Amino acid sequence: MCRIKTKQGVIVIDNNAIHIVDSVMGTGKTQACIAFMRQQPGQKYMYVAPYLDECNRIQASAPELDFQQPQENKTKSADLLRLLSEEKNITTTHELFSLMKDSDVEYIKKFKYILFLDEELSCIENLSIESADLDFLMKNNFVQVEQSTKEVCWTNPDNKKSKLIGHYKEDIQRKPHYLVKDNVLMWLFPINVLKAFQSVHVLTFMFSSSTMAGYLLKNDVSFDFCHIENCSFADGYQRVTPEEKARFKDLIEIYEGPFNDNWHGKTRKKDKRFLMSQNWFGNRSNSGRVNQLRNNAYNFVRNKCKAHKEDVLWTSYKDYAGALTSDKLTYQSRKSNWLAWNTKATNQYSDRTVLVYLLNVFPNPLFKNYLENDNFKFNEDDYSLSALLQWVWRSAIRNGKKVTIYIPAPRMRQLLTDWLNG
């Protein structure tokens, strides 16, 4: 049971419980969070958001709670620990929070901090390392593997022999990495950090399809669901209502026309599922199709929508954004209108009304293989749909305005269409 509601004027909190506040974007999760904290100002809070502008928003929205952000003194990590030791309310980014270690939990426990996570945390990352490089590091005692935990520890202080060695040293020392297979190193968020909080509240949507859900279940950590009702938290999971779906459908125009099909030729039905995946873009034989996609996107923006560049928001895999760039779709420029496909929790693009989605999302196969077990199975389509919806909701739809979107990947277009239709 999600016990975070007011009972006879007192907020009841389950110790060490993890509550997933799972509601569609724009339903007031952040406002409910602020209201919750104001009702219980004597508690100590940490609010973790993807970006600094959301941290600033929390500070500005609840000045009476005096939220502090870690500053660049020695390091921001050291300053975060200082703020914890001084029993301050803290707001910080996912990036800085991810650097916390098991040894950092003393003050979290002592002062009974409550954690609010704005969007699920990336609890798992893989370190890109060649098997030969890993073998070299281990044979030459640059790293050792702690046998009980499989944590990889840097043991050789000499990083001057090779820039390559120095690069790996920085990554491994910055975050704890673990050997999960013979040649696979992964960073795993220290689960004991989450367990140290009096309670944890994750503000998100479609959590069950996330890597964090798989990570919690792999570590035998249970969670329950809440939703938003009248700008406050309410017990239980609640699906998006048909009325909400109908409203969203009125706001989203999905392009249907020749630009959806003229780029992939006569592709077999079973192969269409993987068109515009990361592997598809990496196949050199598809370079002509990529050029056609770029031209299609340009024509969609310029001729179909007659849009200015400032109206447009687009995305792709970062590695292939350059090949898709035009004067209407800019990347790595001062006024770029490209936004990473996995971006969440920012309102900076809420004026954009013309959207271009040039990829087909699948979960990382390494993460999939590591996380899946009897308790958790990746629903690939839900994972992909969640990413698409989060990205679309960075646009003007947040403000109740209509948007037009070009989604040439048949699978992604169908996922959005099916969701809107119920």
Structure-token pair, residue 219: 């570590």
CA–CA distances in Å: residue 182 to residues 131, 132, 134, 161:
9, 11, 9, 25
Global pTM value:
0.91
Are 198 and 109 in contact by the 8 Å Cβ rule? The answer is no
The confidence band for 333, taking pLDDT boundaries of 50, 70 and 90, is confident
Mean of per-residue pLDDT scores for the chain? 91
Here the tokens at position 254 are 């999905």
The string of pLDDT tens digits covering residues 231-290 is 899 999 999 989 999 999 999 999 999 999 999 988 888 889 999 999 999 999 999 999
Per-residue pLDDT averaged across 107-127, rounded? Answer: 95
Report whether 228 contacts 31 (CB < 8 A).
Answer: no
CB-count burial class (<10 Å; 0-12, 13-18, 19+) for 391: buried
> In sequence order, which residues have a C-beta less than 8 Å from that of residue 62 and are 6 or more positions away?
34, 37, 38
Kindly tell me if the per-residue pLDDT of 101 is higher than 80: yes
Q: What is the pLDDT of residue 199?
A: 95
pLDDT digits (tens, 9 = 90+) for 133-190: 888 888 888 899 988 888 999 987 765 556 667 778 888 888 889 998 877 899 999 9
pLDDT, residue 4, reads 47
Q: Which domains are present in the chain?
A: 6-123+190-235 (3.40.50.300), 124-188 (no CATH), 242-420 (3.40.50)
CA distance 294 to 10: 57
Of the listed ranges 104-118, 224-238, 289-303, 310-324, the least confidently predicted one is 224-238
Question: 276 or 4: which carries more pLDDT confidence?
Answer: 276
Q: Which residues pair with 151 in a beta bridge?
A: 178
